[in-house]
Structure 1
Amino acid sequence: MDQSSTAPVGLCPDMCPRKERQERERQGLLHHFETTDGQRARRGRRGKASMCADPAKTVKEYSRPAAGKELSSPYDIRPPAVLLKTVRYLLMKVWDSVNEMDSVNLSEAYCFVFDRLRAVRQDMTVQRVRGQLGAVVLEESLGFLLCAPYLVRHLPVESYDEVLHATQVRESFAELMECYKEDVRHPREAEFQALLLLYDLGNLDTMNRALKLHHRIGDAPQVRLAMDVNRAYLECNWVRLFRLLHRLDCLQSCAFYRHLTTCRDKNLRMLIHAYSSKNCRFPLDLLARLMAVDSQETVAEMCRRRGLSLAPGGQLAVVFLKSSFKDVVPEIHGREILLVERKKREQTWAGVMMGEEETMPLAHSPEELQHEWH
Structure 2
Amino acid sequence: MKTGNTSLKAECEEMCPERELRIRIKEKLLHKLEQGRFYPVKEYSRPAAGMRSPAPSDIRTVGCLVKTVNYLCSTVYTNSTAASRNIIFDFMFDRLRAVRQDLILQNVEDKSACQILAQIVRFHVVSSLLQKEYTIDKFDPVRNSSHLLECVKSVLILQNLNDVVDEEREEMNSIYILSNLSSSAPLMWATNLPDNLRKSENISKSFQLALLYRQNNFVRYFRLLQSLPPLLQIAALKFTEKMAVHALKVYSVAYHSVQCKYPLADLSKTFFLKQCVMADLCTKLGLQLEGDNVKFQKSKIPTIEDESTLNIFDFNNASKSLHVIR
Amino acid at match of 1:158: D
1:265–1:330 contact (8 Å) kept in structure 2: no
2:189 matches 1:209:
yes
Residue aligning to 2:150: 171
| 1:100-142 superposed Cα distances (whole Å, 9 cap, x missing partner) | xx8x532322111111001001111112211312111100111
| 1:41-86 superposed Cα distances (whole Å, 9 cap, x missing partner) | xxxxxxxxxxxxx7xx110011111123232111111122111110
- 3-state SS of 2:294 partner: strand
- 3-state SS of 1:28 partner: coil
Amino acid at match of 2:325: M
* CA spacing shift, 1:153–1:326, aligned 2, 3 Å: closer
2:207 alignment partner, one of 219, 224, 227: 227
* CA spacing shift, 1:84–1:22, aligned 2, 3 Å: same
2:11–2:61 contact (8 Å) kept in structure 1: yes
* CA spacing shift, 1:186–1:275, aligned 2, 3 Å: same
Distance 1:191 1:260 in 2: 19
1:261–1:330 contact (8 Å) kept in structure 2: no
| 1:242-264 superposed Cα distances (whole Å, 9 cap, x missing partner) | 11121121211221122232111
* CA spacing shift, 1:341–1:172, aligned 2, 3 Å: farther
* CA spacing shift, 1:83–1:183, aligned 2, 3 Å: closer
1:282 alignment partner, one of 251, 255, 262: 262
- 3-state SS of 1:97 partner: coil
Distance 1:307 1:93 in 2: 41
Distance 2:70 2:296 in 1: 50
Distance 2:42 2:283 in 1: 49
Q: CA deviation at 1:305?
A: 5.1
Amino acid at match of 1:217: L
Q: CA deviation at 1:306?
A: 4.8
1:308–1:320 contact (8 Å) kept in structure 2: yes
Amino acid at match of 2:17: P
Max radius of gyration: which structure? 1
Residue aligning to 2:20: 20
| 1:213-253 superposed Cα distances (whole Å, 9 cap, x missing partner) | 01121111110111121111111110011111211212112
1:262–1:330 contact (8 Å) kept in structure 2: no
Q: CA deviation at 1:202?
A: 2.8
1:90–1:113 contact (8 Å) kept in structure 2: yes
1:190–1:222 contact (8 Å) kept in structure 2: yes
2:17 matches 1:35:
no
Q: CA deviation at 1:319?
A: 2.6
Residue aligning to 1:218: 198
- 3-state SS of 2:185 partner: helix
2:294 matches 1:318:
yes
Distance 2:165 2:53 in 1: 31
Q: CA deviation at 1:349?
A: 4.3
Residue aligning to 1:117: 96
Residue aligning to 2:86: 107
- 3-state SS of 1:202 partner: coil
- 3-state SS of 1:89 partner: helix
Q: CA deviation at 1:203?
A: 1.5
More deviation, 160-169/82-91 = 160-169
Q: TM-score, normalised by structure 2?
A: 0.90
Residue aligning to 1:128: 107
RMSD, aligned α-carbons: 2.6
| 1:135-173 superposed Cα distances (whole Å, 9 cap, x missing partner) | 111001111111012112112333322222122111111
Q: TM-score, normalised by structure 1?
A: 0.79
1:151 alignment partner, one of 130, 150, 175: 130
1:281–1:317 contact (8 Å) kept in structure 2: yes
2:65 matches 1:83:
yes
